[in-house]
Amino acid sequence: MACFRVWPLYLLILPLILITPPAGAGEPVECWRGWGYRVDKQTRTYKSEELLLVTKGPVDWRPGQQVVLYTHDRASGQIIPAVPPVTITLLSARSYYRDNLNYVDGEGQIVGGEDNLVFGLSHVPLPTAAIEKLHEYNIWACGLESSAK
């Protein structure tokens, strides 16, 4: 019977949880994460193993735009600080929608390099509600820090 008495309290607190950002949450996190391969410009032969890649923030996917991609560590899910980011100039990109832009794949020329990069990235969008677990997931998914707390 005691649990029925606390339900009205939950109903009063729930709206506050949904509209109040968590303490110390910082800025909302958004990125693109997925895979990529270095390929020869002429033959399109693969020149690397699969790279796990992530952006920091939103991206303009129009051809000619530059995109900075960071390498993810497969084991930890973190950006590898010792590996410099790869900047590409987009040659082509195909976007996929399901009520919003949620996946893109394409090819870009590596700035300052002789190779191209083919990639496929999923969107990790801004949270629509300030729910702490979703915010923590986005921080983890974007490789900014560990979600193991």
Q: pLDDT tens, 87-100?
A: 999 999 998 877 77
Instruction: Tell whether the model's pLDDT for residue 19 goes beyond 60.
Output: no
- 129 confidence band (pLDDT: 50, 70, 90): low
* Burial class of residue 100 (count of CB atoms within 10 Å of its CB; 0-12, 13-18, 19+): exposed
* Burial class of residue 145 (count of CB atoms within 10 Å of its CB; 0-12, 13-18, 19+): middle
- Strands annotated E in the chain: 31-40, 51-54, 66-71, 86-97, 101-110, 115-124
- Quick check: 145 and 131 in contact, CB under 8 A? no
Instruction: Tell whether the model's pLDDT for residue 110 goes beyond 70.
Output: yes
The confidence score (pLDDT) of residue 138 equals 80
Q: What is the mean pLDDT of the chain?
A: 81
**Lowest mean per-residue pLDDT among 6-15, 40-49, 78-87:** 6-15
State the number of CA atoms in the 13 A half-sphere of 131 facing the CB: 10
The confidence score (pLDDT) of residue 132 equals 64
The confidence score (pLDDT) of residue 78 equals 92
